[in-house]
């Protein structure tokens, strides 16, 4: 018995030791708590010349969905002898970033064919990777900022020292998307220029909302609908230099608007992806305005495009009360990739290759990250989008893209932006006081981001 016990103890200790060893290697960048939100920035790293001859045979791409994979397989010609391996994990529940982080942390010790060679990131959390030591300054592999790239896409992919860590294949200026027939009924016109005049600032927007309500319409179909127009125009980041949570006046303005709109019945208590909202896109819907970039009406307005119940062609876009952007997917370069040549080639293909970018605009209804290509379509009198009643949306977006600011971002934005709306819904519905809603939001922040200091 004693012997058995000692064997077990020994076993526990061995495994314990092993686990402990594991832990120490895990601690990649030791840092004291409560340091600033700006992740440690690397001071000018010497570009390591890559041995061109010995490059990997497997090109691993980490992604959370199939969108880019579709474009890639359609338009990019993979160099001979290289296998492209897609590692796709759902972003639901943070699985994608979990896996990606684990792979990046293990990048150094990974076998050449297992190394991450490229990964995708969204605007809301791109900073987490760009400002880390795990991404590669792409100038070292020959990727340069092209004059046709939109400034903000470069800014978003650049770290604090200005080193570019990747590129975006799309540009995401967002617009106000309205139902022509409802606009005619409420404002008296469906002409984008005149509608824009009627909705050019928030007080006008409020006034029209009241008129719409009087006629039995909703101004928007979700209380979250306008959130991005506020949150992507903030004048300060979610956390200050001491990592203290702060509320930008824009966020406070949205809270005020959402409360008012829900109380007055201008909008619905539905989330941004809820069925309740999506049903408003049918012909029978009573909602005048939706907000989103090009990818939004192409991908998320399936109900409006439904041949039987939809209202294809009864739509148009204009800038709306405030220019803004929403979303976007960046291709980032991980440090330690063994396929630098192909990586550069892929990045160039989806940014400066005019043929591919034209295809993205023409066939995929994307707004590409190549201003020359976009302008070509914007100036083409024969180019128009039938869904928008023939309106040339690329021309509108070309104008809107000039106003995009990618500023005051933090690595925490994704969850803060996606959840403040849900947390405050209880307050908007009148279940709890505003103060309680703030308390609940602080609790949420404490759980998700221990580094952020809440009041």
Partner 1 sequence: MKSYTDAENRKARLMLYISRTVVYVILIFLTILCLFSFYMLFINATRSNAQLQAGFRLLPQDNFFNNFRNAWNDVSINIPVGLKNSFIIAALTSILTAYFSALTAYGIHVYDFRGRRFAFVFILAVMMIPPQVGAVGFVQICYQLKLTNNFLPLILPSISAPVVFFYMKQYMESVLTLDIVEAARCDGSGEFYTFNKIVLPIMRPAIAVQMIFSFVASWNNYFIPALLLDKAEKKTVPIMIAQLRSADYSKFDMGKVYMFILLAILPVIIVYVFLSKLIVKGVSAGALKG
Partner 2 sequence: MSEYREQKIAVRHKSISYAKWGYLFIAPFFIVYIICTLIPQFLTIYNSFFENYMDGLRHVGPNFVGFNNYVRLFTPDSNGVIGILKYSANTLIIWIMGAIPQFVIAMLLALFFTSGRLNIRGQSFFKAVIYMPNLIMASAFSMLFFTLFSNVGPVNQMLQQMGITDKTIDFFGITIYVRSLIALMNFLMWFGNTTILFMSGIMGIDQELFESAKIDGASSSKVFFKITLPLLMPIVVYVVITAMIGGLQMFDVPQVLTNRMGAPDRTTMTIVMFLNSYLTPSKNYGMSGAISVYLFVLTSLLSIFVYRGMIRQYRSRIR
Interface positions with partner 1 (CB under 8 A): 1, 18-19, 21-23, 25-26, 64-67, 69-70, 86-93, 95, 98-99, 102, 106, 275, 278-279, 282, 295, 298-300, 302-303, 306, 308-310
CB 425, min distance to partner 2, A: 7
440 binds, among partner 1, partner 2, none (CB under 5 to 8 A by kind): partner 2
Q: Which residues of 188-227 are buried (b: 16+ CB within 10 A; e: fewer)?
A: eebebeebbebbeebeebbebbebbbeeebbbbbbbbbbb
Q: Which is nearer to partner 2, 251 or 452 (CB)?
A: 452
Which residue, 219, 207, 145, 211, is CA-closest to 176?
219
Which residue, 327, 293, 294, 325, is CA-closest to 405?
325
Contacts 24+ apart (CB under 8 A), 304-309: 304/387, 305/387, 306/282, 309/282, 309/283, 309/284
CB 280, min distance to partner 2, A: 10
CB 20, min distance to partner 2, A: 9
295 binds, among partner 2, partner 1, none (CB under 5 to 8 A by kind): partner 1
51 binds, among partner 2, partner 1, none (CB under 5 to 8 A by kind): none
353 binds, among partner 1, partner 2, none (CB under 5 to 8 A by kind): none
Q: Alpha-carbon Rg of the chain, whole angstroms? A: 24
Q: CA neighbours within 13 Å on the CB side: how many for 182? A: 29
- Residues 6 or more apart from 167 whose CB is under 8 A from it? 138, 143, 149, 153, 154, 157, 330, 331, 347, 350, 351, 369
Cα distance between residue 234 and residue 409, in whole Å: 9
CB 12, min distance to partner 2, A: 6
CB 236, min distance to partner 2, A: 20
Q: Which is nearer to partner 1, 5 or 53 (CB)?
A: 5
Residues contributing to the site for partner 2 (CB under 8 A): 3-4, 7-8, 11-12, 15-16, 19, 23, 26-33, 39-40, 93-94, 97-98, 101, 104-105, 128-129, 131-134, 268-271, 274-276, 279, 411, 415, 419, 422-423, 425-426, 429, 431-432, 435-436, 439-440, 442-444, 447-451
313 binds, among partner 2, partner 1, none (CB under 5 to 8 A by kind): none
Helix H or strand E segment including 60? strand 58-63
Q: Which residues pair with 316 in a beta bridge?
A: 178
86 binds, among partner 1, partner 2, none (CB under 5 to 8 A by kind): partner 1
97 binds, among partner 1, partner 2, none (CB under 5 to 8 A by kind): partner 2
309 binds, among partner 2, partner 1, none (CB under 5 to 8 A by kind): partner 1
Cα distance between residue 316 and residue 268, in whole Å: 22
CB 90, min distance to partner 1, A: 4
CB 253, min distance to partner 1, A: 28
Q: Which is nearer to partner 1, 71 or 428 (CB)?
A: 71
Q: Which is nearer to partner 2, 253 or 415 (CB)?
A: 415
Q: Would you call 172 exposed, middle or buried from its count of C-beta atoms within 10 A (0-12, 13-18, 19+)?
A: buried
How far from 413 is each of 237, 264, 295, 448, CA to CA, in Å?
9, 30, 21, 11
């Amino acid at each position: 018995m004693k012997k058995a016990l000692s064997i077990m103890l020994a076993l526990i200790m061995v495994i314990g030791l092993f686990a402990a060893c594991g832990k120490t290697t895990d601690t990649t960048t030791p840092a004291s708590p409560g340091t600033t939100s700006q992740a440690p920035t690397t001071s000018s790293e010497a570009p390591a010349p890559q041995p061109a001859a010995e490059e990997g045979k497997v090109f691993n791409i980490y992604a959370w969905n199939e969108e880019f994979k579709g474009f890639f397989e359609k338009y990019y010609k993979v160099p001979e002898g290289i296998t492209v391996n897609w590692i796709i994990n759902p972003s639901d529940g943070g699985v994608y970033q979990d896996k990606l982080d684990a792979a990046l942390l293990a990048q150094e010790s990974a076998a050449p064919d297992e190394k991450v060679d490229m990964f995708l990131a969204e605007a809301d959390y791109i900073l987490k990777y760009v400002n880390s030591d795990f991404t590669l300054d792409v100038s070292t592999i020959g990727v340069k900022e092209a004059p046709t790239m939109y400034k903000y896409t470069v800014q978003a992919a650049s770290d604090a020292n200005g080193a570019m860590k990747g590129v975006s294949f799309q540009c995401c200026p967002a617009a106000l998307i309205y139902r022509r027939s409802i606009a005619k009924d409420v404002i008296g016109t469906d002409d984008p220029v005149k509608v824009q005049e009627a909705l050019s600032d928030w007080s006008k927007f409020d006034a029209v909302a009241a008129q719409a309500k009087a006629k039995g319409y909703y101004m928007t179909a979700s209380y979250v609908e306008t959130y991005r127009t506020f949150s992507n125009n903030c004048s300060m980041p979610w956390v200050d230099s001491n990592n203290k949570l702060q509320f930008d006046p824009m966020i406070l303005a949205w809270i005020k608007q959402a409360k008012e709109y829900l109380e007055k019945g201008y909008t619905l208590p539905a989330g941004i992806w809820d069925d309740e909202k999506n049903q408003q896109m049918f012909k029978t819907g009573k909602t005048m305005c939706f907000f989103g970039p090009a990818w939004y009406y192409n991908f998320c307005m399936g109900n409006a495009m439904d041949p039987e119940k939809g209202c294809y062609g009864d739509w148009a876009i204009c800038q709306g009360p405030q220019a803004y952007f929403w979303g976007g997917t960046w291709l980032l370069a991980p440090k330690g990739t063994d396929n630098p040549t192909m990586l550069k080639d892929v990045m160039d293909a989806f940014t400066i290759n005019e043929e591919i970018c034209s295809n993205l605009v023409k066939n995929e209804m994307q707004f590409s990250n190549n201003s020359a290509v976009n302008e070509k379509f914007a100036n083409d009198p024969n180019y128009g989008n039938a869904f928008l009643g023939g309106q040339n949306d690329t021309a509108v977006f070309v104008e809107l893209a000039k106003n995009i600011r990618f500023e005051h971002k933090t690595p925490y934005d994704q969850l803060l932006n996606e959840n403040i709306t849900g947390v405050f819904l209880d307050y908007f519905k009148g279940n709890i006081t505003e103060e309680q809603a703030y308390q609940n939001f602080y609790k949420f922040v404490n759980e998700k981001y221990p580094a952020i200091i809440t009041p």
